[in-house]
Amino acid sequence: MGMRAIAIDGGDAKRDLCIKMGAEEFIDFTKESDVPAKIKEIADGIGAHGVLVTAYQAYNGKFVTRSVYDLPTDVS
């Protein structure tokens, strides 16, 4: 389907796991000062077309997916 997995987490252990599980790239948010800019850099200047969030605590156990098509056109 042409998807490119970019994992975002913190620490070397998480990096190793994400790469082992098939992520093309890993961004360590504890080391990267501008995560969105890094995503755009990795994704050929375009950015993410979709996001899969698996952070349990952040969403009370709900499985969340977002697409750029779900976002408002004016995000200022």
Q: Per residue in 19-31, pLDDT tens?
A: 999 999 999 999 9
Check if the beta carbon of residue 15 is closer than 8 Å to that of residue 28: yes
Inside any domain, residue 35: yes
- Which residue type sits at 71? L
In a domain, 37, yes or no: yes
Q: How many domains does the chain have?
A: 1
**CA distances (Å), origin 35, targets 2, 23, 39, 61, 64:** 22, 16, 6, 24, 20
Q: What pLDDT shows up at residue 71?
A: 46
Evaluate whether residue 52 is within a structural domain. yes
Mean pLDDT of 28-37: 92
Contact 7, 38 (CB under 8 A): no
Q: Calculate the CA 56 to chain-centre distance.
A: 15
Q: Provide the residue range defining the domain that includes 21.
A: 6-70
**CA distance linking residue 8 with residue 14, whole number of Å:** 9
